[in-house]
């Protein structure tokens, strides 16, 4: 049974810091991994999707890595800003379809 874990559950950093969010999954037979951002009470915004054949994916100040063999992904945020404050979720597909298994999320607070 696939389980997804995110550490830490919450993180508070001063503006300008570089930070790493962690995601681990128990079954390495995944097609891809997706990172999302969620602002309070809102829907999810897709940040990055990494295919199983990729090691990294970058978008602006965000860089996501994937190590299938160890069951881990990291989301690196460079030069954090207060606007980055949100909950970050990672998810893997259950099978080749539209069912995602989510981690519990990391709540990030970036202080000015």
Partner 1 sequence: KAGVTQTPRYLIKTRGQQVTLSCSPISGHRSVSWYQQTPGQGLQFLFEYFSETQRNKGNFPGRFSGRQFSNSRSEMNVSTLELGDSALYLCASSLRTGKTYEQYFGPGTRLTVT
Instruction: Write phi, then psi, for 98 (nearest 5 degrees).
Output: -95, 30
CB of 11 to partner 1, least distance (A): 17
Say whether residue 11 binds partner 1 (CB under 8 A). no
Burial class (CB in 10 A: 0-12, 13-18, 19+), 94: middle
CB of 75 to partner 1, least distance (A): 16
Site residues for partner 1, window 47-66 (CB under 8 A)?
Answer: 49, 51
Site residues, partner 1 (CB under 8 A): 31-32, 34, 36, 41-46, 49, 51, 89, 91, 93-105
């Amino acid at each position: 049974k696939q389980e997804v874990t995110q550490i830490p559950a919450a993180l508070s950093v001063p503006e300008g810091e570089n930070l790493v969010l962690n995601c681990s999954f128990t079954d390495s037979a995944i097609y891809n991994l997706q990172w999302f951002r969620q602002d309070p009470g809102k829907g999810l915004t897709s940040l990055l999707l990494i295919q199983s054949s990729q090691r990294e994916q970058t978008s602006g100040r965000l860089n996501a890595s994937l190590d299938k063999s160890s069951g881990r992904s990291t989301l690196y945020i460079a030069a954090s800003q207060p606007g980055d404050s949100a909950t970050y979720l990672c998810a893997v597909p259950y099978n080749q379809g539209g069912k995602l298994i989510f981690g519990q999320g990391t709540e990030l607070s970036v202080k000015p």
